[in-house]
Structure 1
Amino acid sequence: MIIVLSPAKTLDFETASPTDKTTRPALLKDASVLAEVCKQKSPEDLRQLMGISQKLAELNHQRFSDWEAPHPKLGSKAALFAFQGDVYRGLKAAEWTTKQIEYSQDHLRVLSGLYGLLRPLDRMLPYRLEMGTSLASDRGKDLYAFWGDKIAKQLRKQMDATKSKHLLNLASQEYFKSIDQSVLDCPIVSPAFKEWKNGKFKIIAIFAKLARGSMASWVVKNKVKTVNKLIQFDEDGYRYDAESSTPTVPVFVRGD
């Protein structure tokens, strides 16, 4: 089973990683093309394009101006430990053992607007470029057009290498749309996490993000390979709700 996660806007390049091992992103040449496109933008261009503050626009303009490939060790960091935010708070990767980190290198992937697809130990530089950004390039009007089927082909390659039969989608819709499912050609499982509130179960974004990270961590730690095993997930008070689940959307509820 291969897991896909969304990245996070919040980054941590100050805290040391628990491992010195790093790898090179598979789609770094493509990322460099995007970085060059962004490098030509002014801070004001980036502010309007990304809908961010002037301060963030200037920061990211500087980041793209300083872009180097391959990445130097100084200033770069393994993706697994660079991303922060709710999903990664649930993931708690800093607490993993060396063997769990190694297992995740083969079974966990982070979708990225800039890098396309990142393995946990792939070195990345700090950046801001969400997948839904309408950044035009020679390949089309936005990042979905830019990446085309490249992300799916990388995932398919890794699924074949690990003999994985399912893709576990724990990414947001914005990022999952970057995967050409026709190329992937495999069963996709997209869990839903719901909380009991005001007399019914409903999805609450912040808790759903934490749960996605928690499930990804649980899958890595237990080396889960099948959907039958997946429905045994019971971390953080969640339980499988067979009645509201489907084969492709298993539902996990908490409360009541």
Structure 2
Amino acid sequence: MSASQPLFQDESAFLVNKLKRISAKRLQTMYNANSEITALNKARFQEWSLPFHAGNSRQAMLAFTGEVYRGLNAQTMTETEFEFAQQHMCILSGLYGILRPLDLIQPYRLEMGTRWEISAKIKNLYAYWSDTVTEWLNNHEDQGPLINLASNEYFKAVDQKKLNREVITCHFRDLKGSEYKSLMTYAKHARGAMTRFIVRNHLTDPEELKAFDGMGYTFNPRLSSGNELVFTRDQVVNS
């Protein structure tokens, strides 16, 4: 499988060089995690180095393993699907800013919402990445509507006031009692499944998203409005 280099390696290296100097105690506070997770990721930052190659890195779409990526199931994608994803999809990252699916990355943990004052003038990762991410999206060769399948935490890295593209946001809700509510784990999995649906079918028209029926979710026109597309299901199904 082919691979590409992350677009903003210098910016990532700047962050890693700062993270390498952070004490384990402070890093644990930033992560709000246990000492084992902290030690693992501190070691990863110490080992992080350029250049990226097949021996020390892996394509981003195959490297991530969270619930969204379980729904995406990239391990079963065809070469044609990977090519389409590379041209049309991007991943928001606390360490890399923007990643294309085939960009090589090394293991890390750095969530976009991490409480980290990078410098006196850069209060957090949103401030660090916002202009870079927004400018890249504005200048990307695919200038159709932007389908937002990111979490709120990550999409805040995009300055929507400066964004020159229409944004279509997809929501996934389950019937809970008498109301449809977003259940985090299921919603994450569904965002990955919707991404796979787009990639598999090479979709570029937002209207075609309404045909999605993965995991039992279907488009709900009553709850949808404008550029907010809501998909609901009444019963959890195996996925």
Aligned residue runs from structure 1 range 244-255, under 5 A:
244-255=223-234
Letter in 1 for 2:219: Y
Q: Does 1:233 align with 2:212?
A: yes
Aligned residue runs from structure 1 range 10-89, under 5 A:
19=1, 21-89=2-70
Letter in 1 for 2:135: K
Aligned residue runs from structure 1 range 1-256, under 5 A:
19=1, 21-138=2-119, 139-158=121-140, 161-162=141-142, 164-255=143-234
Runs of 5+ unmatched residues, structure 1: 1-18
d(CA) in 1 for partners of 2:102 and 2:56? 15
Q: How far apart are 1:109 and its partner, in Å?
A: 0.8
CA-to-aligned-CA distance 1:113-171 (integer Å, 9 cap, x gap): 0000100000000001110112222451111111131011112222xx12x32111111
d(CA) in 2 for partners of 1:251 and 1:105? 26
The alignment yields a C-alpha RMSD, in angstroms, of 1.3
Q: Which has the higher contact order (CA 8 A, sep 6+)?
A: 1
d(CA) in 2 for partners of 1:39 and 1:48? 15
Cα distance change of structure 1 residues 33 and 166 upon mapping to structure 2, 3 Å threshold: same
User: What's the TM-score once normalised by structure 1's chain length?
Assistant: 0.88
d(CA) in 2 for partners of 1:148 and 1:200? 35
Q: How far apart are 1:43 and its partner, in Å?
A: 1.3
Give percent identity, aligned residues only: 36
Letter in 1 for 2:206: V
CA-to-aligned-CA distance 1:185-228 (integer Å, 9 cap, x gap): 11111111111222332211111111100000001111111221
Runs of 5+ unmatched residues, structure 2: none
2:102 aligned counterpart, secondary structure: coil
Q: How far apart are 1:40 and its partner, in Å?
A: 0.7
CA-to-aligned-CA distance 1:47-86 (integer Å, 9 cap, x gap): 1121111111111111111121222421210000000111
How many residues were matched structurally? 234
2:65 aligned counterpart, secondary structure: coil
Q: How far apart are 1:107 and its partner, in Å?
A: 1.0
User: What's the TM-score once normalised by structure 2's chain length?
Assistant: 0.94
Paired residues of 2:6 and 2:103 also in contact (CA < 8 A): yes
